[in-house]
């Protein structure tokens, strides 16, 4: 039986020039010595790591053990920072990888080449639960009484559900006053989180919660929390598991605060270094055009990880110009409406490890792709569909080949943001203009309008025959 050992894990500064390490029972969201992000690092040589990924299949038969049932913790040997007795789980990670011919056609791939990873099937309806189970576990390890996050909606829903179901801590969520989708806001309220609606955007809310957390000893659950990203690695473990442990050619993921892309890069690097996979898939991170910091820095200005020394002058100048010109992120994909992605540097590292690329897609492309995901699968929220729109763009550019095996991560459930869906499909021009046109959406080529029909059997039959 494999075990975990908190003594063989530490928090380590990602800046190789610094590289300071700290015990896992400390509560940190940045390196106290140099301010860089922190990773969780392991002494793998002294930890019992399985010889082969198929080892994890043995846990399928033991689903009465909540740790084996969890789609995060059944891989606990690959994120061994917590004693088993401290692990907090609410059954997250029962997500599926679904091949989709319809969406594959739309993207321009051969039949059987496109896979959709439905992270919206998590307890709070988004991928965040993968991370929050790990952050909650760490919060429990350090005895946190209050946890907080800033959020465009999903992080707050996720944190709130972990608090409401486990009763381990109180929660304060900071949301901006911009475009938080009602489905997400309703979750935080319903799960009884203290909800502070900051008069500003997500970046403002994040800056404030970081100050408050530092000041008041509140446990911070945004993705600057390195334990959260350990949990998010499991999304890639499940993708591999669904593909019978074969590595796909591409992972395509929407980019917001860049936690997922960072976690995916770490997952694959570790698996390769442990000899559990023999190659790393390519990573494509997709920004919304209206929130394209990563695209601007990586593709337009050529900023790279560069052995841990990205060109800070270019990055600082970019943000100084953003402030001077008062440019603020603006996209219907509200989940990724972010100006200053906190995990930028970790994401640059992931892009290097995964021979990655970054693209941007318009809100029109996002909503059209979302309609395809709805028509050909379980549906998703707008931000998630950026992955499918991005894969389509990369196919058109010839970067992705028709025979490549491509996995698009659908980060959040369709019901998170029904407003965008209804505005796209309803055919109500006033609603379309109000909700979508201002963001450059011109039409709804895949709109599926409800058919209004008189309350009369004959008319209903005529409507059925006409459609």
Which positions touch ligand F0G (CB under 6 A)? 126, 128, 151-155, 223, 254-260, 335-336, 381, 383-384, 411-412
Q: How far apart are CA 158 and CA 160, in angstroms?
A: 5
**Please, which residue, 31 or 288, has the CB nearer to ligand F0G?**
288
- For 323, residues 6+ apart whose C-beta sits below 8 A from its C-beta are none
**Please, which residue, 126 or 133, has the CB nearer to ligand F0G?**
126
438-444: Cβ within 8 A, 24+ apart: 439/290, 439/330, 439/331, 439/332, 439/363, 440/362, 440/363, 440/364, 441/332, 441/363, 441/364, 441/367, 442/364, 443/364, 444/367, 444/368, 444/371
Write the CA distances from 349 to 27, 278, 288, 359, integer angstroms: 24, 19, 21, 17
Identify the CA nearest to 149 among candidates 136, 159, 162.
Answer: 159
Q: How far is the CB of 95 from ligand F0G (least distance, A)?
A: 13
**Please, which residue, 381 or 419, has the CB nearer to ligand F0G?**
381
**Please, which residue, 69 or 191, has the CB nearer to ligand F0G?**
191
**114: helix, coil or strand?**
strand
Q: How far is the CB of 416 from ligand F0G (least distance, A)?
A: 7
- Closest residue to ligand F0G: CB criterion: 256
Q: How far is the CB of 343 from ligand F0G (least distance, A)?
A: 7
Q: How far is the CB of 421 from ligand F0G (least distance, A)?
A: 14
**Please, which residue, 36 or 130, has the CB nearer to ligand F0G?**
130
> Which residue in this structure is represented by tokens 């989708």?
181
**Please, which residue, 69 or 202, has the CB nearer to ligand F0G?**
202
Contact 381, 181 (CB under 8 A): yes
**Please, which residue, 255 or 265, has the CB nearer to ligand F0G?**
255
Q: How far is the CB of 275 from ligand F0G (least distance, A)?
A: 28
Cα 249 to chain centroid, rounded: 20
Contact 235, 119 (CB under 8 A): yes
Q: How far is the CB of 387 from ligand F0G (least distance, A)?
A: 9
45 C-beta neighbours (distance < 10 Å), count: 7
Q: How far is the CB of 107 from ligand F0G (least distance, A)?
A: 18
**Please, which residue, 11 or 287, has the CB nearer to ligand F0G?**
287
**Please, which residue, 106 or 127, has the CB nearer to ligand F0G?**
127
Q: How far is the CB of 254 from ligand F0G (least distance, A)?
A: 4
Q: How far apart are CA 63 and CA 61, in angstroms?
A: 6
- For 132, residues 6+ apart whose C-beta sits below 8 A from its C-beta are 92, 124, 155, 158, 159, 161, 162, 221, 228, 231
Q: How far is the CB of 38 from ligand F0G (least distance, A)?
A: 16
Q: How far is the CB of 208 from ligand F0G (least distance, A)?
A: 14
Please spell the DSSP secondary structure of 371-397, one letter per residue: HHHHHTSS---HHHHHHHHHHHHHHHT
Instruction: Please report, to the nearest 10 degrees, the dihedral formed by the alpha carbons of residues 352, 353, 355, 356 taken in order.
Output: -70
Identify the CA nearest to 126 among candidates 425, 356, 439, 384.
Answer: 384
> Which residue in this structure is represented by tokens 């309803």?
426
**Please, which residue, 341 or 376, has the CB nearer to ligand F0G?**
341
């Amino acid at each position: 039986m494999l075990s975990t050992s908190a003594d063989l894990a530490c928090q380590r500064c990602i800046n190789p020039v610094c590289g300071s390490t700290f015990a896992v029972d400390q509560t940190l969201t940045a390196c106290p010595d140099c301010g860089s992000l922190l990773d969780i690092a392991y002494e793998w040589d002294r930890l019992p790591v399985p010889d082969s990924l198929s080892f994890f299949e043995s846990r399928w038969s033991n689903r009465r053990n909540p740790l084996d049932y969890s789609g995060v913790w059944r891989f606990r040997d690959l994120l061994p920072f917590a004693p088993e007795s401290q692990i907090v789980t609410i059954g997250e990670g029962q997500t599926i990888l679904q091949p989709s011919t319809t969406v594959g056609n739309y993207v321009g791939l051969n039949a059987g080449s496109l896979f959709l990873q439905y992270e919206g099937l998590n307890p709070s309806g988004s991928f965040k639960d993968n991370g929050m189970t790990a952050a909650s576990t760490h919060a429990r390890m350090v005895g946190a009484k209050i946890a907080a996050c800033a959020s465009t909606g999903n992080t707050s829903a996720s944190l709130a559900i972990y608090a409401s179901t486990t009763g381990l801590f109180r929660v304060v969520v900071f949301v901006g006053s911009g475009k938080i989708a009602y489905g997400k806001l309703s979750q935080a309220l319903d799960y009884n989180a203290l909800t502070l609606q900051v008069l500003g955007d997500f970046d403002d809310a994040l800056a404030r919660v970081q100050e408050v957390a530092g000041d008041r000893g509140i446990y911070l659950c945004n993705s600057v929390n390195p334990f959260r990203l350990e949990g998010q690695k499991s999304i890639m473990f499940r993708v591999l598991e669904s593909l019978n442990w074969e590595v796909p050619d591409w992972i395509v993921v929407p980019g917001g605060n860049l936690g997922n892309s960072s976690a995916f890069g770490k997952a694959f690097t570790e698996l390769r270094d442990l000899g559990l996979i023999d190659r790393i898939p390519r990573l494509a991170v997709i920004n919304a055009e209206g929130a394209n910091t990563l695209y601007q820095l990586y593709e337009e200005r050529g900023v790279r990880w560069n052995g841990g020394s990205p060109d800070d002058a270019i990055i600082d100048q970019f943000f100084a110009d953003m402030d001077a010109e008062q440019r603020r992120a603006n996209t219907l994909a509200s989940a990724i409406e972010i100006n200053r992605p906190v995990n930028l540097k970790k994401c640059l590292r992931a892009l290097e490890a995964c021979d990655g690329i970054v693209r941007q897609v318009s809100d029109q492309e996002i909503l059209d792709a979302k309609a395809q995901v709805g028509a050909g699968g379980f549906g998703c929220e707008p931000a998630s569909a950026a992955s499918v729109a991005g894969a389509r763009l990369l196919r058109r550019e010839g970067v992705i080949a028709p025979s490549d095996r491509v996995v698009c991560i659908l980060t959040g459930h369709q019901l998170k943001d029904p407003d965008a869906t209804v505005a796209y499909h309803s055919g109500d021009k006033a609603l379309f203009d109000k909700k979508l046109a201002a963001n450059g959406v011109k039409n709804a080529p895949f709109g599926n309008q409800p058919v209004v029909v008189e309350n009369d059997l004959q008319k209903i039959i005529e409507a059925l025959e006409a459609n």
